[in-house]
Structure 1
Amino acid sequence: MSRADTAAAIWRAPYTWVTAGSISLVFLAALQALAVTTVMPVVSADLEGASLYAAAFSATLAASVIGMVGAGAWSDRGGPLRPLTACVALFVAGLVIAGVAPTMVVLVVGRLVQGLGAGGITVALYVVVARAYPAALHVRVFAAFSAAWVVPSLVGPFLAGAVAQYLHWRCVFLGVAVLAVASFFVLAPRLPDMHRPPADVEPLGRVGRRLLLAITTAVGLLAIGLAGKAGAFTAPLVIAAVVVVAVAARPLLPRGTLRSARALPSVVLLRGILAAAFFSAEVYVPLLFVERYGFSPVWAGLALTLAAITWAIGSGAQGGVGRAWPDRSTAVGGAVIVLVALVAVTGMALTGAPAFWLIVFWAVGAVGMGLVYPRLSTLTLAYSSTRDQGANSAALSIADAIGAAAAIAVLGLVFVSAPPAAAFVGVFACAAAIAASALLPAFRVSAADEERA
């Protein structure tokens, strides 16, 4: 089968509607993420919630850890339909709560509920891919998931800014809620036949323990995000919360993750570190353009638009010529690109460089993320058996969420505590330091025998 035939196969029977529905949910997740990042400066000003700016992002990611663990175990036991249904319901409920929120506190609560659903949707869709498609098509589907960010990236930030500026920011949340319901009803009717649980599923007692650990991890992440309100107790609270997160999260990840053991543990660790570096910095990109350069909400989304396009280009390369690239080379190359971009953005924030160059280098960093993310998703399934597809997919997403949530929370403290002139430089420099630590696991994503081959 030619490359063109392989690429088209995911759109042919019996995969057509599964592909369409799955990609629609990914599309809406992308639209929501890009839109909320764009309009949050307006939301924060309207609800007088500057002190909760970072918490509005970290709360969603923290709660998503619980959804990931629950959906992963549920999917392994009985297929992805029921967990996907529950998670879409939570996702929509959270969007509605945020869309009608009278205060920033209520909006953060809505983002928490939304996070419970969003995390579970991600894991359930990974299991859909594992059970609905042959292994040869996995990289194509994951590349299509990443490419599903293209249209949101073209219109999402700009449209969200326009909606916030000319209508109201509440429409951004409520509009996505309506579309999510429609996408679910495209996908759901095609999933009942995928109920093929393995005989040796994870015991319920172990599932309960993992859920308790996920809840503890989420509480610790929320504590970091809210530590700025603790006054003199800020530093001790942050240290205690970081310890709690590290201890509680360790059993949720593959054994050896924190020491970057070869293969799956390093794949999961790399995903978490890159998410921490890139997404913690991205939160402040539109805020930088609004506060430093005087951009309107419409134009503040420009950097996110271009970056999402270049991310999709990098992901598209993985679905094409990049399939032949060695795993380690792809991981190291992508990590280096992200690091170089963050170092450049830090320097430009320090020197007050023209906005054009900030946009360009942020887009360069997104290319690196696009190159690495589909490969890490594919490697996770390659290192998994039918018994642990859900658990390992959940671990990958958990690392993603924990890394991003912890980094966003900590960088939020850096931002509010630093002198105004150094605030943006501080957060971007911290993000670059995090990206530098990604090089170790990047060199260890391949199994030893694969490297020798």
Structure 2
Amino acid sequence: MNQTWLISAVLLALFLGALDALVMSAAMPTIIAELSGLHLYAWVYTAYFLARAVALPIFGKLSDLFAVRQLLLVSISIFILASLAAGAAPSMGYLVGARVFQGIGSGGIFALVYVVLSEAAPEGQRAKTLSLASFIWGVASVIGPTMGGVMVSFFSWRWIFFINLPLGLLSLAGIALYLTEFREKKKDVSLDWSGLVSLTGFLMSVLTLVMIGGRDIAWISLPSALLAVTSIGFGIWFVKAELGADDPILDLRFFKRRGFAMGNLAGFCASFSMFSLFGYAPLFLQGALGHTPLQVGMAMLSLSLGWSVSSLILGRVMHLTTQKTAALAGGILLAAGTGLTLGFSTATSMVHSFLVFQVVGFGMGFVVLATLLKVQNSLGSSDLGVATSSHQFARTLGGTLGVGVSGGMVTHQLLNRLETVEVSLPEKLMVQLKENMENLFRPEFQAQIPDAAKAVLKTAVAQGVWSTFLLVFLVSLVCLCLVLCLPAQDGG
């Protein structure tokens, strides 16, 4: 019974972190209207994801050195306090600062929850237990956007943050009562401070460049060059620090193990493909095909449901197959589904879109769970935290880069198309598109588009997003090649 309560408590913590990444979209227009600071719009998202990405590998390593119970309690506490600060934000700058600490807390939660689930799983049921985490992600993806809209419509946007308090305290209580240490930790701890600082600097500079490059700063500009040079400098420092550390944050020798290297790279590619579709398939369905937001939501829901359902299924039949076979099945489904998106046209029906995205979601669920197990089993139990968080980080990095690269491609293709045709958008609308492609979804933006330009715009959107579909398919093929390279033995 204690084990059931513990798993429920950590899944609740995961739900909070996953939900927080999804409820913001519905609330942002209202937040901007109340707090102003439109120039900081994107940083409400960027600050959160940047902090989360940096925190993931650090908390993963710390979980191998210190008590997971204390680390998880600290992570959830940071998240709750930051949520209260965000809900009470008097300005956009304050909100962005609070989101940084929310990101740190959620990074710790995401790293540690998977460690706890892996350790708390009954003998031979790790896959089944971990599959529950994917189910929680699916539930959050369904509830999140709707919940954000309800909070804003009937209460206040501040409640999308305040709701974290009672749920977070409930999770804290369950973890404090039922979580005990499963692994014996080292008595003499040598923390790799040089590796920690250099890794933080490297990740922040690289991800900042990816997130704001082509949007807030031009790719070919002095700020971009400085960020690139800074990234290289921190990267060199990190490699040197890890090679000379007694107990490195990330032992680079782990990458010599095929299960660790190929599993993480496959997770990176799968997330690159999945989140690129999450980000830009709605642009195609609504901007090019003219489907309603409700129809688009239903089509995109199939991605989340496919991911969740396939993970649950695999978790219950994993004992009947091998991790490589499961990952290979997922890689084939992912490549097949993304390949089918290349056939999307203005005649594509919603049923067809739903089924194609379902295939992609099933592929993602199989790849993610199977490669996580492979990465965990490639290292000893003493390095479970590093193994688990490295896979989480690879997926986070893949999704972030996928959305960033795809966004740059779509924007470039769309604007080039509009500039080369006779009928173009007014300069004011072109500027709004450059600032944020999501303006295409806004009724007030669509109402300003001249009738003569609407057909041209739909064609431009279709061509721009098709380039993303092609990129996603190619990356999915790379993912398939990587899972083919996984060692056949489940322990390798």
| Deviation for aligned residue 1:437 | 1.7
Name which of 426, 432, 436 aligns with 2:473. 432
Deviates more, 1:385-394 or 1:45-54: 45-54
Q: Which residue of 1 aligns with 2:483?
A: 442
Q: Quick one: which amino acid aligns to residue 90 of structure 1?
A: I
Bigger mean CA offset, 241-250 vs 134-143: 241-250
Q: Letter of the aligned partner of 2:479 in structure 1?
A: A
Q: What residue in structure 1 maps to residue 206 of structure 2?
A: 220
Q: In the alignment, is residue 272 of structure 1 matched against residue 268 of structure 2? A: yes
Matched, 1:139 2:118: no
SS of equivalent residue, structure 1 residue 198: coil
Given that residues 82 and 101 in structure 2 are in contact (C-alpha distance below 8 angstroms), is that contact kept between their aligned partners in structure 1?
yes
- Gaps (5+ residues) in structure 1? 1-12
- TM-score (norm: length of structure 1): 0.81
Tell whether the 8 Å contact from 1:59 to 1:222 is kept in structure 2 after alignment. Answer: no
TM-aligned CA distance change 1:282 to 1:154, over 3 Å: closer
Alignment of 1:160-199 (within 5 A): 160-164=148-152, 169-191=157-179, 193-194=180-181, 196-199=183-186
1:51-70 matches, cutoff 5 A:
57-70=45-58
How far the C-alpha of 1:152 sits from its partner, in A, is 3.4
Residue of structure 1 in register with 2:371 after alignment: 376
* Conserved 8 A contact 1:157-1:302: no
Identity %: 22
Aligned residues: 434
| Closer, same or farther: CA 99–300 of 1 in aligned 2, 3 Å | farther
DSSP-derived class of the 1:401 partner: helix
The aligned amino acid for 2:274 is: F
| Residues 111-120 or 230-239, more deviating | 230-239
Deviations 1:40-98 (A, max 9, x none): 77569858888877665554333223322332232222221221122113323444455
User: 1:220–1:245: 8 Å Cα contact kept in structure 2?
Assistant: no
Q: Partner residue of 1:321?
A: 317
Larger CA deviation: 157-166 vs 74-83 = 157-166
Counterpart of 1:320 in 2: which secondary structure?
helix
Residue pair 2:44, 2:96 contacting (<8 A) in 1 also: yes
Q: Which has the larger radius of gyration?
A: 2
8 Å contact kept, 1:127–1:390 = yes
Q: In structure 2, what is the equivalent of residue 9 of structure 1? A: none
Query: What per-residue deviation string (whole Å, max 9, x for no partner) do you get for residues 170-206 of structure 1?
Result: 4334324542332222222222x317543376621x2
1:30-69 aligned at under 5 Å gives the runs 30-36=18-24, 39=26, 42=29, 57-69=45-57
* Structure 1 residues 359 and 157: alpha-carbon distance in aligned structure 2, compared to 1, 3 A threshold: farther
Q: Does 1:15 align with 2:3?
A: yes
Distance 1:282 1:40 in 2: 19
CA distance, structure 1, for counterparts of residue 348 and residue 198 of structure 2: 47
Which stretch of structure 1 is more off in the superposition, 339-348 or 219-228? Answer: 339-348
Which position in structure 1 is the counterpart of 2:448? none
How far apart are 1:362 and its partner, in Å? Answer: 2.1
Q: Which has the higher contact order (CA 8 A, sep 6+)?
A: 1
Change (3 A) 1:287 1:240: farther
TM-score (norm: length of structure 2)? 0.75
Report if aligned partners of 2:127, 2:369 keep a CA contact under 8 Å in 1. Answer: yes
Aligned counterpart, 1:360: 355
**Residue 230 (1) aligns with residue 217 (2):** yes
- For each residue in 1:223-250, what CA deviation from the matched residue of structure 2 results, as whole angstroms up to 9, or x when unmatched? 2212222234187567657756876787
| 129 and 162 in structure 1: CA distance in 2 versus 1, 3 angstrom threshold | closer
SS in 2 for 1:203: coil
Give the CA deviation at 1:135: 4.3
Task: Specify the alignment match of 2:452 in structure 1.
Answer: none
Equivalent residues of 2:209, 2:228 under 8 A apart: no
Name the CA distance, whole Å, in 1 between partners of 2:479 and 2:155.
41
Aligned CA distance change for structure 1 residues 395 and 283 (closer, same or farther; 3 Å): same
User: Which residue among 91, 104, 110 is the counterpart of 2:79?
Assistant: 91
**Are the equivalent residues in 2 in contact too, given 1:44–1:53 (CA < 8 A)?**
no
* More divergent stretch after superposition (157-166 vs 381-390): 157-166
Q: CA RMSD in A?
A: 3.6
Match for residue 341 of structure 2 among 340, 345, 348:
345
Distance in 1, matches of 2:89 and 2:63, equals 32
1:209 aligns with 2:195: yes
Structure 1 distance, partners of 2:275, 2:86, is: 21
Q: Which moved more, 1:331-340 or 1:439-448?
A: 439-448
